[in-house]
Amino acid sequence: MAQDGDVLTGTLGGNYKISVANGAVVTLDGVTINGTNDEAYNWAGITCQGNNIIVLADGSKNVVKGFNATMPGIYVPEGCTLVIQGNTGTLDASSNGEGCGIGGSKSISCGNIEIQGGAITATGGENNAGIGAGFGWDCGNILISGGTVTAQGGNQAAGIGSGNSDTSDTQSVCGTITINGGVVTATGGYGGAGIGSGYQNSIVGNITLSGGIITAVAGEGKFTKAIGSGDYGDCRNITITKGVTSVTVTGDIGASAGSYTGTVTIEEGANIIYQDS
C-alpha cells in the first residue's frame, strides 16, 4: 500500500498487488509492473483506493500492466477521481487482454479520470476503451487538460470513452469527455469511435473539445465516427469551440446510423481538419 509522499521505483519482483491509499499523492519514477495473466491474481497493475494523484517523475519511463486478464492497467474506484500529473515522465498503461489501459474492465466500473500532464499511452484490451469504460460497465467523467496522450481502444471499443455493450442488458456507459489542452490522439478499435462510444448500445455523455491539438481516428466499421458514436452506439451533445488549436478527424463527427445523438455544435473559426480514412 503506497502512502502519501511515497516514490515508487524499480521492477516489481513478484505477483503483488500495488495499491495507493485514499488521498495519497504518489510518484512513479522508473516503475515496471508487468502483471502476469493469471486468474489467481485478480487485480490491476495499480489499484487506487480512493481519490489519488499519480505524478510521473521527470525523465522517467513507467510501464503498468494489469494482472488478471480482466483487470485494467490502472484502476480508480467508482465515485473517486484519479489525477495524473507530470512533465517529461512517461506512462504506458495496458491490461493483459480484457481491461482498459486506464479505467475499468469487463468486470468492474470505474470513477473519474483527469490527465494534467506527462506522456501517456493507454491501450485497451478486447471490448475495452484505452481510457474509460470496460465491456458492459461504466466509468465517470474524463478530463484532459495537458500532456501528450495516446489512447487505443480494443476491438469494438473507443480510444477514449466507452467499451462494447453487446446487448441492452450490459451497457457500457461513459460520462462526459472534456479536452481543453494537451496533445491528444485517440483511435477506436473496430466498431468504436476515436473519442466517444463503443459498439452496440454503448453510451457516452457530452463531448466538449475546447483546447489542445486533437487527433481522432474512427475504428473500422460501417457507421463508426471519429468523434461521437461507435457502430450502433449512442452519444450526447458534441461541442467543438474555436479555442482548440486543431482537431484532425479521420472519419466524421456525430452519431452512427440508427443511434441517438444530441446536438453537434462547431463554433465558427474552429480549426477542423478532415482526413480520408
DSSP string, 129-190: -SEE--TT-EE--EEE-SSEEEEE--TTS-SEE-----STTS--EE--EEEEEEEEEEE--T
Half-sphere exposure of 157 (CA within 13 A, CB side): 40
Round to whole Å and give the CA distance between 257 and 153. 21
pLDDT at 33: 96
C-beta separation of 107 from 77 below 8 A: no
Per this entry, what is the length of the chain?
277
Residue type, 45: G
Please give the C-alpha separations between residue 177 and each of 66, 114, 135, 162, 189, in angstroms, as whole numbers: 24, 10, 18, 10, 18
- Reading the block at residue 166, the C-alpha cell is 453487446
- % the chain with pLDDT above 70: 96
- Reading the block at residue 167, the C-alpha cell is 446487448
Look up cell 490502472; give the residue: 74
- Mean pLDDT (whole number) for 85-114: 95
Residue 182 clears pLDDT 80, i.e. is over it = yes
Out of 37-46, 110-119, 161-170, which region has the weakest mean confidence (pLDDT)?
161-170
Round to whole Å and give the CA distance between 259 and 133. 19
* Band of pLDDT at residue 225, cut at 50, 70 and 90: very high
Three-class secondary structure of residue 70 per DSSP: coil
* Band of pLDDT at residue 260, cut at 50, 70 and 90: low
pLDDT at 209: 98
pTM for the model stands at 0.96
Three-class secondary structure of residue 49 per DSSP: coil
* Band of pLDDT at residue 253, cut at 50, 70 and 90: very high
Half-sphere exposure of 27 (CA within 13 A, CB side): 13
Residue 200 clears pLDDT 70, i.e. is over it = yes
Out of 81-85, 110-114, 167-171, 195-199, which region has the weakest mean confidence (pLDDT)?
167-171
Find all residues with CB under 8 Å of 241, minimum gap 6, and list them. 208, 209, 210, 211, 267, 270
Distance of CA 253 to the CA centre of its chain: 19
- Mean pLDDT (whole number) for 70-76: 95
pLDDT at 78: 96
pLDDT at 223: 87
- Mean pLDDT (whole number) for 14-42: 94
Look up cell 480512493; give the residue: 50
pLDDT at 259: 63
pLDDT at 167: 64
Number of DSSP helices (H) and strands (E) in the chain, helices first: 0, 29
C-beta separation of 134 from 102 below 8 A: no
pLDDT at 21: 98
pLDDT at 265: 95
Round to whole Å and give the CA distance between 101 and 115. 13
pLDDT at 2: 98
pLDDT at 261: 65
Out of 154-158, 161-165, 198-202, which region has the weakest mean confidence (pLDDT)?
198-202
Most confident stretch, 1-10, 65-74, 217-226: 1-10
Round to whole Å and give the CA distance between 34 and 12. 7
Strand partners, 84: 54, 115
Residue type, 70: T
